């Protein structure tokens, strides 16, 4: 409802609010998983196309291409394919436009970055919840996206696994990747640079976070 704000490149934004406040709906719009009924969503693609693009007006084929190459999405429930190994799950998005050999090399690299280099041949059922989420992070990073959207990525994890995931997010944000994350945990705000609060479909707070 009348939401208007911008997210800068390299930002780490934490979106908070009660259940049903509109957080996931917002995330689905900006990540091009759904279409808004009205309004515009502008994505700065000046280094690719020389223009700022209203993604709500793009044909679905172009939206799919942008999701694949420019955006990484991490789900609360991991969304791994249970019949595929960790390596195969991470390779999959890369295989859409790269050959299998190159996709495997890149997937191995991303799995090593999240500390799963020795578990590449495990099925999701053979991994802990934290390990499955790290596979999902590696998959989201495999195509070198500029933006990572994460919808409550720590909700099903214990304290240690949650910290591991957030430490990875902080590290990749320091490398210049923009992160937009939904969270219900106040303690997780210390990782973010900015907090946006939703309530009943409205944006009620948008503030920079200053950490001591």
b/e 8-39 (16+ beta carbons within 10 angstroms → b): eeebbbbbbbeeebbbbebbbbbbbeeeeeee
Q: Are 194 and 11 in contact (CB under 8 A)?
A: yes
Rg (CA), the chain: 17
Rounded to 5 degrees, φ, ψ at 104 are -65, -45
pLDDT tens per residue across all 212 residues of the chain: 888 999 999 999 999 999 999 999 999 999 999 998 899 999 887 766 667 889 999 999 999 998 998 999 999 889 999 999 999 999 999 999 899 999 999 999 999 999 999 999 999 999 999 999 999 999 999 999 999 999 999 999 999 999 999 999 999 999 999 999 999 899 999 999 999 999 999 999 999 998 75
Assigned token pair, 47: 């280094």
As a whole number of Å, the end-to-end CA separation of the chain is: 34
Q: Are 198 and 17 in contact (CB under 8 A)?
A: yes
């Amino acid at each position: 409802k009348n939401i208007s704000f911008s997210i800068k490149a390299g930002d780490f934004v934490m979106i908070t609010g009660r259940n049903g406040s509109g957080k996931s709906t917002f995330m689905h719009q900006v990540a091009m998983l759904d279409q808004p009924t009205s309004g515009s969503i502008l994505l700065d693609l000046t280094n690719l196309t020389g223009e700022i693009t209203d993604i709500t007006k793009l044909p679905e084929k172009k939206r799919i291409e942008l999701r694949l190459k420019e955006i990484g999405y991490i789900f609360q429930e991991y969304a791994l394919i249970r019949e595929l190994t960790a390596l195969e799950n991470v390779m999959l998005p890369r295989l859409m436009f790269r050959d299998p050999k190159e996709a495997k090399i890149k997937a191995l690299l991303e799995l090593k970055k999240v500390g799963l280099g020795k578990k590449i041949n495990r099925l999701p059922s053979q991994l802990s919840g934290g390990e499955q989420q790290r596979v999902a992070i590696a998959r989201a990073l495999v195509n070198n996206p500029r933006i990572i959207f994460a919808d409550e990525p720590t909700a099903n994890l214990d304290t240690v696994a949650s910290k591991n995931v957030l430490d990875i997010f902080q590290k990749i944000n320091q490398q210049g990747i923009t992160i937009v994350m939904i969270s219900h945990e106040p303690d997780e705000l210390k990782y973010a640079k900015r907090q946006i609060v939703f309530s009943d479909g409205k944006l009620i707070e948008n503030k920079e976070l200053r950490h001591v």
